[in-house]
Amino acid sequence: MDNQSTTSRVLSSLAYLSILFLPVIFPLIIWIVDRQDPYVKHHAKAAFWSQIFPAIYVLVTLLIFFIMGASGVEQIRSAGGWIFATLTVFALLIALLLYIYNLAMGISVLIKRQ
């Protein structure tokens, strides 16, 4: 990507840094509103997916947990706690890594001199 304007860099940076003040919603707004600037569109889309992925993962984990709990098989029901705990730990690690990623990308996009 070529040398970007200050406005493009600030908007792209805010899409990532919105993890601190309005995660998921702010990058989505930028992605929808600023479709004419491919640089901003790219970074807003990346920020949106990196911020919503932990929520999707947690929903899938809960769905798996409820399906296991509703099953009539006792071995599956008894193992459900360990599986849920493991999936929850992975969810927390993924969320932490993506939080750090968003902060790093927000700073990187803002200070990058291309």
pLDDT of residue 44: 96
pLDDT of residue 5: 87
pLDDT of residue 1: 45
Residue 102 contacts residue 50 (beta carbons within 8 Å): yes
pLDDT of residue 107: 95
Residue 40 contacts residue 8 (beta carbons within 8 Å): yes
Q: Where are the beta strands (DSSP E) in the chain?
A: none
- What is the value of pTM for the model shown? 0.82
Over its length of 114 residues, how does the chain's per-residue pLDDT go in tens digits?
456 888 999 999 999 999 999 999 999 999 999 889 999 999 999 999 999 998 898 888 888 878 877 776 676 666 767 877 888 899 899 999 999 999 999 999 999 865
pLDDT of residue 77: 64
